[in-house]
A = this chain, B = another copy of it.
């Protein structure tokens, strides 16, 4: 993702996040973003790592996009997504962390827990994430740290 979040957003979830995903798709579109829903499209039980890897690979392959992942707690999605080289997935519970995830960590995926925070808090997180450019740091320290993320 370039310094400033782009207008193209991919979104995916597990079964616990399907309903929330629909609501957030509509919200993201209301922000003027182009949203592509990678599924799932019903509440049949699925394995979250499959959707986390699909979304993370899609985002990494499309340098001009960012992603949203939703599961029950957000933990499974954030672990699985970060296993993909180039993915920087940030599990956030409030807008301050969403802003810092962009500003300091150049996160390209935001992860939300549908059983932990409510829809209006999620929207404030998404708005902060979508509007915050990466700041490499006046001395380049944030950019240096991001460059060291891959193990």
Contacts and interface: CB of A to CB of B under 8 A. Distances in A.
B80 A149 contact: yes
Contacts of A128: none
Contacts of A82: 78-79, 82-83
Interface stretch (A3-11, A17-25, A30-38, A99-107): A99-107
A109 B94 CA distance: 22
Copies per complex of this chain: 2
A141 interface: yes
Interface of A: 45, 47-50, 53, 56-57, 72-76, 78-80, 82-85, 88-94, 96-97, 100-101, 104-105, 107, 113, 116, 141, 144-145, 148-151
29 contacts: A45-B141, A47-B141, A50-B148, A53-B151, A73-B97, A73-B100, A73-B101, A75-B91, A75-B97, A75-B101, A75-B104, A75-B107, A76-B104, A76-B105, A78-B78, A78-B82, A78-B90, A78-B91, A79-B88, A79-B107, A79-B149, A80-B149, A80-B151, A83-B83, A83-B151, A84-B151, A85-B151, A93-B93, A97-B116
